[in-house]
Structure 1
Amino acid sequence: MSDRVRVGFVGLGIIARSHLEVLAARPEAVAEFAVDPKVTEPPAFRGTTPAHYRDLAEALGAHQPDLIVIATPTQTHEDLTTQALTLSSARVLVEKPLVHDLAALARLRELDGKADVRGRVFTAHHFAFAPEVRWAAEQIARHPEWGPITRVTSAFYDPYILRGEQAFASYVSSWMDSGVNQLSMLARFVEPTALTSLRQMDDGASAWATCEYRSRGRTGLASLRSSWLTGESSKGTTFTLGETDVEVVIDHTANTGFAAQAGTLLAAYGHDGRTPRKTARHRPLYESLLSDAPDPVLGFDTTVTITELHHWRP
């Protein structure tokens, strides 16, 4: 993209804050406009206030941005993405998950011949850009002698049960909220191929899923646990590699990790302790998105795979 990137923000709620903060720190980013019918005045962006609209179509009638960031409820993503594609030439970054069901995904895929969906639509799979995830992926790529990833165990816990019905209204279920994060993180390491089981429990507050994948010519299985039945947030993933007894363990809450083999520490990663977790994920995400070759984990093809797995039902 050019040295000056005009950005249109759609949705100014809590989710949008990380996007605004990270882009405000990038000198090439210019806040062109903001859209949110529930907000009377948008937040300042590097000391200036962008033009504000209640409707995306109205905003695109007055502006031609280079990037449109959509951070609204998932059910609105399809319609807003379609408007962004047909009324502008901008790249479109949509908060995860891209769509709320497979029918919406199919309608977006049908637009590809008209609006270059595969080249312009990206999904904010921020967990794949977490520092501990990138560190672990680099370690595994650097050591082919460790063998393929033969087993993955991932557990994501959030204290949303404390929010009661508000949690279900905002996030739908534990699987709908965390499953897409686990699947997109998994796509950083392996090629997910099929969800082989999915069990949702506790009225949707917990889930257990298994996902088959390919790694260096071998088939492996990932066990994915998510739950809101906790008083604290805690997320972690363990990768077991080949026949070498190597394990790579990462803590997504502490942004740390280590690799070990038969009681020997092989490598370790620590966080600086000063950078908020979401900022640490969104910074490299935007570095990639604003480059000439965005990471495939952001791209539409990967999103299609993740969405189909995420919405699989037995």
Structure 2
Amino acid sequence: MNRSVRIGLAGLGVIARTHLDVLAERPDVSLAFTVDPGVSEPPEFRGSAPRHYPALVTALEHHRPDLVILATPTDTHADLAELVLTRSAARVLVEKPLVHDLGSLARLRALNNTADVRDRVFAAHHFAFSPEVRWAATQIERHPEWGPVTAITSAFHDPYIVRVEQAFASYLSSWLDSGANQLSMLSRFVEITEPLSTRALDRGASSWRTYAFRSRGTTGTARLRTSWCTGASSKETVLAFADSGVEVWIDHTAMTGFAADSRGRLLVAHGNDGLTPRKVAHYRPLYDSLLSEQPDPLLRFDAAAVLTELHHAVPEPA
């Protein structure tokens, strides 16, 4: 996109603020309109207010956006994406998860022949663009002597227990909320192949799942924990390399990491300047990629479809 990219933003909740902050930094975009039926006045963007509408269909009748961002509740994603695909020529960036069920995914896939879904729909897998994840992926590429990843443990905790009913209404369950982040993040390091086990706990406020993956010709198991039963946010991932005894520890909350070996030596470490908000640090490189000539494959519909299937998959009974 060589000219200014005309953008429409649907949904003005918490995550929309991050989108607006990052987009406001970019001279190559303009905000054509916002949409939210529950908001009467649009947010300020670069000192002025964009046109605002209660319904996306009305906005598309008055504008010709290049990109529409869907930062709306998950169960609206499929309908709104289909609306953009059939009522405009715009690309669509959908907040994660792409859709809330496999039936909605099938609906979008069915539009590909007429609406070019594979080249127009993108998913905001922002955790895959976080600084600590990109750092870890770079270290793994630089150190083939570590060998394949053989085991992964990842735990994502969010402090939603004090407003758990609101969390259920907004996010449906801890796994539906955080599982997409974990799976997309792990796709930076390994190829996730199939679910091995799944267990919902605390009425869905927590979960425990295991997945098989491949890394450099070797198979391994990822253990994934999500939970709202905590007083503070805490997100960590550990990658183990059994052949070399190396472990890579990633702190997603602090955006830091380090690698150490079985002899107790610190091999490499990644820090954080403390100046950039965590979500902004995720979305800056995401938009750099999305608005480039070759968007990262993890943003594209094909990757989002595979991750959606893995996200909703239930292992076959033994």
Specify the TM-score bucket, using the shorter chain as the normaliser.
Answer: over 0.9
Equivalent-residue separation in structure 2 for 1:3 and 1:195 (angstroms): 44
Q: How does 1:170-189 map to 2 (within 5 A)?
A: 170-189=170-189
Q: What's 1:287 paired with?
A: 288
Equivalent-residue separation in structure 1 for 2:145 and 2:113 (angstroms): 43
Task: Tell me the alpha carbon deviations over residues 125-183 of structure 1, each in whole angstroms, 9 at most, x when there is no partner.
Answer: 01111100000000001111111111110011111111131111111111111111101
Task: Tell me the alpha carbon deviations over residues 33-66 of structure 1, each in whole angstroms, 9 at most, x when there is no partner.
Answer: 1111111111011012111111212211111111
Task: Tell me the alpha carbon deviations over residues 227-258 of structure 1, each in whole angstroms, 9 at most, x when there is no partner.
Answer: 11111111100001240001111000111000
Offset of residue 197 of structure 1: 0.8
Q: What's 1:4 paired with?
A: 4
Q: Which amino acid aligns with 2:46?
A: R
Equivalent-residue separation in structure 2 for 1:191 and 1:301 (angstroms): 14
Q: What's 2:276 paired with?
A: 275
Q: What's 1:90 paired with?
A: 90
Equivalent-residue separation in structure 2 for 1:176 and 1:187 (angstroms): 17
For residue 313 of structure 1, give the secondary structure of its aligned residue in structure 2: coil
Q: How does 1:1-314 map to 2 (within 5 A)?
A: 1-262=1-262, 263-314=264-315
TM-score, with normalisation over the residues of structure 2? 0.97
For residue 150 of structure 2, give the secondary structure of its aligned residue in structure 1: strand
Equivalent-residue separation in structure 2 for 1:276 and 1:178 (angstroms): 19
Offset of residue 184 of structure 1: 0.7
Aligned-residue CA RMSD (Å): 0.9
How many pairs does the alignment contain? 314
Equivalent-residue separation in structure 1 for 2:100 and 2:208 (angstroms): 20
Q: Which amino acid aligns with 2:132?
A: E
Equivalent-residue separation in structure 2 for 1:221 and 1:229 (angstroms): 25
Give structure 1 stretches of 5+ with no counterpart: none
Equivalent-residue separation in structure 1 for 2:282 and 2:223 (angstroms): 23
For residue 149 of structure 1, give the secondary structure of its aligned residue in structure 2: coil
Equivalent-residue separation in structure 2 for 1:177 and 1:299 (angstroms): 20
Runs of 4+ in 1 over 3 A off after TM superposition: none
Q: Which amino acid aligns with 1:303?
A: A
Equivalent-residue separation in structure 2 for 1:188 and 1:91 (angstroms): 24
For residue 14 of structure 2, give the secondary structure of its aligned residue in structure 1: coil
Offset of residue 3 of structure 1: 3.3
For residue 72 of structure 1, give the secondary structure of its aligned residue in structure 2: coil
Equivalent-residue separation in structure 1 for 2:5 and 2:197 (angstroms): 43
Task: Tell me the alpha carbon deviations over residues 250-283 of structure 1, each in whole angstroms, 9 at most, x when there is no partner.
Answer: 0001110001112111110001111110000011
Percentage of identical aligned residues = 64
Offset of residue 117 of structure 1: 0.6
Equivalent-residue separation in structure 1 for 2:108 and 2:168 (angstroms): 26
Equivalent-residue separation in structure 1 for 2:86 and 2:242 (angstroms): 47
